[in-house]
Amino acid sequence: MSRIGKSPVNIPDGVTVTIDGDNVVVKGKLGELTQEVKDIAVKQEDGQIILETKEESKDQRAKHGLYRTLINNMVIGVSEGFTKELELVGVGYRASNQGQKLDLALGFSHNIVLELAPEVKVETISEKGKNPIIKLTSYDKQLVGQVAAKIRSFRKPEPYKGKGIKFVGEQLRRKAGKSA
């Protein structure tokens, strides 16, 4: 049995959880998320969500901790939200946004314009003498991570000078250049 799956998910104030058959719906001040839960029994009691396997098959043991973590991320997302920050490292790399359109200048012949989902709030921070920062905020952890990975894929950080788009606080493995 999964150690993660055994621990209950605490429901904070202001969050309502509805269990309807295989669907778990979590509503909070930031939004509403739905997750389909297969083969795992979900119960709500005393302000907690408890997940139990119906039988001890390998497939159910594998999904036990997964569904517990997904539901926990939903509860945290609708109550607090998730934030990812990306840093643009490189000469002439710039980022700006107008509403949900993110405009990136990354050294290509044309700027990259990315239309973001309405659930993701974007903010760009540009200070003189510092690298531009893109701040993504959403109540859906998967969506904010997917958008951040998409933006990072335009210019992954390279190991010699460290140029590219990296997460704030990310440690890069640097390589030594040519030795004469």
User: What's the order of all strands across the beta sheet hosting 23-27?
Assistant: 16-20, 23-27, 32-36
29 & 17 share domain: yes
96 & 64 share domain: no
For the stretch 113-125, pLDDT in tens is 999 999 999 999 9
pLDDT the model gives residue 180:
66
CA dist., res. 68 & res. 14, Å (int) = 20
Q: Is residue 152 situated within a structural domain?
A: yes
pLDDT the model gives residue 1:
54
pLDDT the model gives residue 142:
96
Q: Which residues contact 40 (CB under 8 A, 6 or more apart)?
A: 51, 52, 53, 54, 60, 63, 64, 67
Total domains in the fold of the chain: 2
Structure tokens at 3: 């150690």
Q: How confident is the model at residue 135 (pLDDT cuts 50, 70, 90)?
A: very high
Residue-averaged pLDDT of the chain? 93
Share of the chain above pLDDT 90, in %: 82
Q: Is pLDDT of 104 > 60?
A: yes
First to last CA, the chain: 57
Residue 176: exposure state from Cβ atoms within 10 A (0-12, 13-18, ≥19): exposed
- CATH number of the domain where residue 148 is located: 3.90.930.12
For the stretch 26-79, pLDDT in tens is 999 999 999 999 889 999 999 999 999 888 888 888 899 999 999 999 999 999
Choosing from 30, 56, 79, the residue where a domain stops is 79
